[in-house]
Amino acid sequence: MQYRRLGDTDLNVSVIGLGTNNFGNPSRISDHADSKRVLDKCRDVGINLIDTANIYGGGQSEVHIGEALRGQRNDFLIATKFNLNSLDGESPRDRIMRNVEESLTKLQTDVIDLYQIHFIPHGVPHEEYLEPLNDLVKEGKVRYVGECNYSGWRHADANRAADERGLAPFVSSQNNYSLMHRQVELELLPYCTEHNIGFLPYFPLAGGWLTGKYAAGAEVPGSARRMVGQLQSDERARTVLSRLDAYANEHGHTVLDLAFAWLLAHPAVSSVIAGAMTEEQVVGNAATSDWMLSPEERDAVDAIAAWDGTDEEVERFGMGADVPQAPVR
Q: Which helix (H) or strand (E) holds 81?
A: strand 77-82
- Strand duo 3-5 + 12-14: pairing: antiparallel
HEC profile for 221-266? CHHHHHHHHHHHCCHHHHHHHHHHHHHHHHCCCCHHHHHHHHHHCC
Query: What sign does the dihedral 7-12-16-17 (CA atoms) show?
Result: negative
Yes or no: say if 200 and 270 are a contact pair by the CB < 8 Å rule: yes
Residue type, 236: R
Residue type, 108: Q
Q: Which residue, among 225, 251, 223, 254, has the nearest Cα to 241 in the 3D structure?
A: 254
Q: Which residue, among 85, 75, 162, has the nearest Cα to 113 in the 3D structure?
A: 75
Yes or no: say if 23 and 35 are a contact pair by the CB < 8 Å rule: yes
Selected catalytic residue, list 56, 115, 129, 202: 56
- Strand duo 198-202 + 272-275: pairing: unpaired
Query: What sign does the dihedral 250-305-203-229 (CA atoms) show?
Result: negative
Distance CA 297, CA 51 (A): 29
Distance CA 309, CA 314 (A): 10
Distance CA 169, CA 157 (A): 11
Tell me if residue 150 is catalytic.
no
Active site residues per annotation: 56
